Amino acid sequence: MTALVLAVLLASLDQTIVSTALPRIADDLGGFRDIAWVTASYLLASTAATPLWGKLGDMLGRRRLYLVATTAFLVASALCGVAQDLPQLVAARAMQGLAGGGMIVLTFALVGDIVAPAERGRYQGRFGSVYGVASIAGPLLGGLFTDELSWRWAFLINVPVGLVAVAIAARYLPAAARRPAARIDYLGAGLLAAAATALILITSFGERWGWASPGVLGLAVAAVVLIALVIPVERRAAAPVLPLSMLTSRTVVIASVVGFVANVAMFSVLVYLPTYLQVVDGVSATLSGVHMLPLVIGLVVSQSLAGRWIANPARVRVVLAAGMVLNVAGLVLLSTLAPGASQIVLVLYFLVTGVGIGMVPMVALTAAQNAVPAADIGAASAVVTFARSIGAAFGVAVFGTLLGDDVAGNIGGAFLWITPLVVLGTLLAFLLPKRS
């Protein structure tokens, strides 16, 4: 578990740690116009490869692939740290994202291998807490490294920590049984990767290119066509990367949609609340992180408690629905934020929001894992993780567009705009089977 927690920490940190370092990177390496690709390349690669990592883990054994992914992540981190120009950094970030996506989905699936169904929620909660904390800590660490050392240490720090994770995993992770050899579904994986690429490009660059521009509309059409092609391809595949049983499983479908919606809310909050505190209340980057502590505490505690509560499968639906209700409550509270709000108000609002955020992601994942045979745990984990990744990118892009240049004036309306989507996710959570 130590090795797996370290892996999730590294992979999730690298989604956000470069955000505060980007201006310095652009200054050192040039390419201000294309600096967004440093973040987008990681997100693209990690999301696009998720389904394939999950299926390969089911087929080839997750321990071996986990060690390969983690080692590749460390090599890519070192290459990022020594990059001499922007194309080199973007290429290394893509490699890092490819490996990081594998680390996350294989970690979640490994818990499904190692831990009994009744205990999965409790263990998955630890990873959800790490993921949430990393989302807050990433920008702070990125700024600290950039100011005190060099932006390169935002990548190089992964190497010593990752080596510890690899050493522990190589010694202690059990080797899962391999399934009979089957032809790898490269066509299905390619279609899913292409569809994910189109969706991430839309969310990452839609505002810059124009939401109604021919390029964005073309990508939207391409994504729809590619997703439509997946079904006949997967129906004919001997070992589909996305088994169609996943699409007919009520639990997996609901868990994926709820995971998508929850991550829209989660990343809108985690990415833009620190911006609000810095721009509107005038606090430093470090102090904005301190102000976010009630949210992080609520997230960590609720993750842990939710994991224990769902040891009884009959409680999964109740816990998931309760978490979504608190998500809605948190967004409504945040929509009333006004400049100069008292510290007590901020603590209360952030605490409610953190509790709601923490109760959902790992409960949804555990519900999906418990709903499928052991041989498909990796695929189920990949489907939910894939949906959550798209949700994160969608949330950041849409919320950023709604926010515009007037953070103080628009943040309340932005939270209200995404609230109906979260309400829809809440209603779906109530439709989860009673025993998941």
Q: Report which of residues 35 and 191 the model is more confident about.
A: 191
Contacts of residue 359, defined as CB under 8 A and 6 or more positions apart, other chains included, come to 302, 303, 306, 319, 320, 322, 323, 326
pLDDT of residue 121: 63
Q: Stretch 69-95: mean pLDDT, rounded?
A: 87
pLDDT of residue 405: 66
CA distance 251 to 273: 32
What percent of the chain stands above pLDDT 90?
A: 3
pLDDT at 102 over 70: yes
Q: Stretch 418-422: mean pLDDT, rounded?
A: 88
Helices (H) and strands (E) in the chain, counts: 19, 0
Residue 172, classified by CB atoms within 10 Å of its CB into exposed (0-12), middle (13-18) or buried (19+), is exposed
Q: Compute the half-sphere exposure of residue 187: CA atoms within 13 Å on the CB side of its CA.
A: 13
pLDDT of residue 328: 92
Q: Report which of residues 214 and 114 the model is more confident about.
A: 214
Amino acid letter for position 326: L
Highest mean pLDDT among 81-85, 175-179, 230-234, 246-250: 81-85
What pTM was computed for the model?
0.74
b/e burial code for range 231-258 (CB count within 10 A of at least 16 → b):
eebbeebebbbbbeebeebebbbbbbbb
Q: Stretch 333-355: mean pLDDT, rounded?
A: 85
Is 17 strand, coil or helix? coil
Mean pLDDT of the chain: 79
Using alpha carbons, select from 100, 113, 110, 139 the residue that is nearest to residue 9: 100
Where residue 216 falls among pLDDT bands split at 50, 70, 90? confident
pLDDT of residue 329: 92
pLDDT at 2 over 60: yes
Using alpha carbons, select from 132, 176, 363 the residue that is nearest to residue 267: 132
Q: Stretch 267-289: mean pLDDT, rounded?
A: 73
Q: Compute the half-sphere exposure of residue 399: CA atoms within 13 Å on the CB side of its CA.
A: 29
Where residue 81 falls among pLDDT bands split at 50, 70, 90? confident
Task: For 32-64, write each residue's pLDDT tens digit.
Answer: 566 667 777 777 777 777 777 777 777 777 788
Say if CB 302 and CB 355 are below 8 A apart: yes
pLDDT at 67 over 70: yes
pLDDT at 298 over 70: yes
Distances from the Cα of 195 to the Cα of 94, 186, 244, 319, angstroms: 17, 14, 17, 32
pLDDT of residue 265: 87
Highest mean pLDDT among 126-130, 206-210, 371-375: 371-375
